[in-house]
Amino acid sequence: MKRYEWPGNVRELKNIIERLVIMTPGRTISAAQVPSYIGAQEGPRDGAKQGSALELSSLREAREEFEKEFIIQKLEENDWNISKTAEAIELERSNLHRKIKSYGIDMKK
């Protein structure tokens, strides 16, 4: 049976939950992804760029990770239509293209 790995202290857990709420780029939180946010993933969590922005310390990295997830969410909500998504998030299409490429977002369509 899988058991969640809880953070070491109350404050950290509270912070994680709050950040989970604030950072989640959609209107909803996928129940499936919650366990990974609270540290239920397998293996060690080294300083690599793996994992969510919640685990990142650098503002720049966290911001980028958030932006990536946000864009993915909005793309899904708009059926992976660049133009619609760009308009929805008030970003130029060309810039959205640039971000998609730089973040390596896979356009599965």
Paired tokens of 10: 């109350």
Please state, in angstroms and as integers, the Cα–Cα distance from residue 108 to each residue in 51, 60, 64, 82, following that order. 21, 27, 21, 12
On the CB side of 28, CA atoms within 13 Å amount to: 5
Minimum gap (Å) between residue 109 Cβ and a second copy: 18
Q: Which amino acid is at 44?
A: P
Per rule CB under 7 A, is residue 15 in the interface with DNA? no
Total residues binding DNA (CB under 7 A) = 17
Per rule CB under 7 A, is residue 91 in the interface with DNA? yes
Judged by the rule CB under 8 A, the positions of this chain that interact with a second copy are: 1, 5-7, 9-11, 13-15, 17-32, 34-35, 38, 40-41, 52-55, 57-60, 62-63, 65-67, 69-71, 73-74, 76-77, 88-91
52 near 37, Cβ under 8 Å?
yes
Part of the chain binding DNA (CB under 7 A), chosen from 9-17, 19-27, 40-48, 88-96: 88-96
100 near 71, Cβ under 8 Å?
yes
Closer CB to a second copy, 11 or 108, in the complex: 11
Closer CB to a second copy, 15 or 107, in the complex: 15
